[in-house]
Structure 1
Amino acid sequence: MTTKDRIYRSPMGIVGGTLLLALVGWLGLDALVNGDGRTPWLALAMLVLIVPVVAAFTVRPAVFANDDRLRIRNPLRVIVLPWGQVVSLRSGYSNEVIAKSGDKYQLWAVPVSLRARKKAARQQARAEAERAGGRKGRGGFGFGFGFGAPVGPASADDGPIRAETDQVMDDLRELLATREQAESAQGEVTVRWAYELIAPAVAGVVLLLVLLATG
C-alpha cells in the first residue's frame, strides 16, 4: 500500500505569491470596473497573463514524496519519478534530482538559501563551542564560560544543525537509499506540462498584442 505523501513547499513563496496576487487582483479589478475606453480590455489582458504566471512561480511549486515515488510540481511541469529511476539528489546553488536517463529536474519548491546555510553553520559552531565549554566545566572549574551550555559530552543523538531545505534534501536522500530497490518503486518517469496555466497566459499575451496593434 502506498504511504501518505510528505509535502514540501516554500512558505515564503506562498506568502509572497498570495500578496502579489491580491495586489494584482485589486488593481486589475479596479481598472476593469472604473477604467475608461480601452483600459478595461488592457486590464483584462494583463490579468489573464499575469495571474497564471505569478501563481505558477510562487504558490504552485511543491514536492510530494512517498515510499514509491517522487512527484515534483514545478511552475510549468509535473514530473513523477519512481525511486528506482532516481540516481541522486544534488544540492548546489539549486536543489536537483537526477534521473537514470541523465535528465535533471530542479526542485522549485525546495530553493537553496545560502543565507540559511550560513546561519545554520554559525549555530552549529556556537553549539559545538557550548558543548566544549560544558565538557571543560565538568570538574568544577568552569569559571563561568559555559553558562547555559550542556554539561558533559554532547548526546549521541545530537546531529549537525542544517538549513531547512538542506534537511529536506537529507530526508529525500534517505527515502531514496531505502526505497530505490523496492518492487513498488519501479516504473517510468512521466512529465506533464501545465497547460491549465500555459493556455491562459498565452491567451493573455495574444489579447494584449491585439489591443496594442489595434490601438
Structure 2
Amino acid sequence: MTSPTPPAEPTYADRTFRSPAGLVGGVLLLLLVGWIGGDAVYRGSGRVPWLALAGLLTAVPLIVAFTLRPVVLVNDRRIRIRNPFRTITAPWTAVADVRAGYSSELFTQDGTKFQLWAVPVSLRQRKKVARQQTQKAQDDPYRRTSVHADVRDAKARIAGADQTVRELRELAERAGDGGADGAGAVVVRWAYEVIVPAVVGAVALVVLFAAG
C-alpha cells in the first residue's frame, strides 16, 4: 500500500512596488556617468584613466543603490523591502503599521521603523489630489452624484504613495486577523554587493589624490 502524496505547498506570487521615476533617472544617470567615465578612461593620460575608473567604481554602485535597487515585494505571507543598503524581510504578523507622512514607513511590533525607499511620497501630488477633492465639493455642495460621474475612480483620487500604503496596511491587517499563516522574525541583510565596491572606489580615489 502506497502512502498518499503530501499536498504541495501553496505558492505566493509577489506584487512589486517601485518608483518609475527612480528607474528612469537611474538609467539616465548610468548612461551619463558611463559616457563621461568611459571617455576619460579611453582618452585620458597619466592618472586620469585611473581616477576615472575609481570614480566609476564609486559612483555606479551608489546610483544603482538609490535608483534601481529600491523595491517592495509583497505577498500574502510577508513583505520584503529592498532599500539602498539593506534588505528587510518581515512576515505580516510582525508588522504593526504602514504609514505615509513625509516618507513611507513600516513599523514592526517591537517599534522598529523602516523606510520604504521604493514608495516615495509626493507632497505635490498629495496637494493636487486635495485641491481636486475641494473643487469637487465646491461644485457639488450637496454631494449629489452626476449621471456622468465615474464612480470607479476612487483609487485615482488618492495620491500614488498613499494608495500603495493603504494596500500594504490592508495586507498587514488581514494577517493580524488570521489571513496569513506565516510567522517569524524580521530579517535584515546588508547589501555588501553595493557597499564594498563603493568603499573600495572611494578609498582608491583618496589614495590617488593623495599620491598626486
Gaps of 5+ in 1: 136-148
Q: Whole-Å Cα distance in 1 between the matches of residues 158 and 137 of structure 2?
A: 14
Counterpart for residue 164 of structure 1: 160
* 1:205 aligned onto 2:202: yes
- TM-score by length of structure 2 reads 0.88
Q: Is residue 2:16 matched to residue 1:7? A: yes
> For each residue in 1:158-203, what CA deviation from the matched residue of structure 2 results, as whole angstroms up to 9, or x when unmatched?
6371101100001101111112334522111000000001110011
Unaligned runs of 5+ in 2: 1-9
Residues 176 and 133 from structure 1, CA distance in 2 versus in 1: closer, same or farther, beyond 3 angstroms?
A: same
Contact 1:6 1:65 in 2 (8 A): yes
Q: Where does residue 147 of structure 2 map in the other structure?
A: 151
Post-superposition offset of 1:130: 4.8
Q: Check the 8 A contact 1:2/1:67 in 2, yes or no.
A: no
Kept after mapping to 2: 8 A contact 1:84/1:185: yes
Task: Name the % identity.
Answer: 52
For 2:90, give the aligned amino acid: L
- Residue equivalent to 1:121: 130
Shift of the 134–205 alpha-carbon distance from structure 1 to 2, 3 Å rule, reads closer
List, as ranges, runs of 4+ consecutive aligned residues in structure 1 with deviation greater than 6 Å.
Answer: none
- Partners of 1:32 and 1:206 in 2: CA distance: 19
- Tell me which amino acid in the other structure corresponds to 1:159: A
The 5 Å alignment of 1:33-44 reads 33-44=42-53
Q: CA deviation at 1:91?
A: 1.6
CA 1:197–1:48: 2 relative to 1, 3 Å:
same
Matches for 1:103-114 after TM superposition, within 5 Å: 103-114=112-123
| Length-normalised TM-score, structure 1 | 0.86
Contact 1:61 1:108 in 2 (8 A): yes
**CA separation of 1:126 and 1:110: change in aligned 2, threshold 3 A:** same
Q: How does 1:15-34 map to 2 (within 5 A)?
A: 15-34=24-43
Q: Which residue of 2 aligns with 1:65?
A: 74
Q: Which amino acid aligns with 1:28?
A: G
CA distance in 2, matches of 1:71, 1:131: 43
Alignment-derived partner of residue 146 in structure 1? none
More displaced stretch, 159-168 vs 178-187: 178-187
C-alpha contact 1:134 1:151 (8 A) present in aligned 2: no
Q: Which residue of 2 aligns with 1:80?
A: 89
Of residues 174, 177, 188, the one that matches 1:178 is 174
Distance 1:50-1:152 versus aligned 2 partners, 3 A rule: closer
Deviation of the 1:102 alpha carbon: 1.3
Match of 1:193 in 2: 190
For the structure 1 residues 134 and 77, does the alpha-carbon distance in structure 2 shift closer, same or farther, using more than 3 Å as the test? closer
